[in-house]
Amino acid sequence: MILIHEIYNIIIIYFGPSCFINTEAYTQNLHIEVYNKTGITLDSVQIDTFYLGRLMNDSSTLVKGLNEFQRSGPWPLLKVSAVDELGNSMKNLAKCGTKAVRVKEGHFAFDIIINTAGLNPRLELIIHQ
């Protein structure tokens, strides 16, 4: 019985610390924080293919798992969609990325806003202010 206990302790001492290291902090070079500046709570928020869920007004969340995105100048070329408090689906229009560059690392912060110009309100991502 003592032998089994000693083997168990050796396994915990040898392999244990690696279980507690947050490997995401070391492997992901792209960090994006998104702020809801729409004035309303958004539900089913999605940035490209990443589902973020509910985002209260004036709150923020991290977009995890995105390895790269494109931008044209300072503007991100990311799709954003959500559902407003009345159940209306909202999304952004595709932006032209004639001179788009691929971004694979860095820290970025963007605001989700509602653009009311035109016939239908739409969501947009702008640089966090």
Model pLDDT, residue 4? 53
On the 0-12 / 13-18 / 19+ scale of CB atoms within 10 A, 38 is: buried
Query: CA separation (Å) from 6 to 23, 53, 65?
Result: 29, 46, 39
pLDDT digits (tens, 9 = 90+) for 71-83: 888 888 899 999 9
At 42, the amino acid letter reads: L
What is the number of helices (H) and of strands (E) in the chain? Answer: 2, 11
Residue 21 is predicted with a pLDDT of 42
| Domain parsing of the chain, residue ranges | 28-127
Question: What average pLDDT values come out for the chain (129 residues) when binned by 10 residues?
Answer: 53 48 57 94 92 94 89 87 90 74 92 88 90
- The CATH code that applies to domain 28-127 is 2.60.40
What are the C-alpha distances in Å from 37 to residues 40, 41, 67, 115? 8, 9, 25, 11
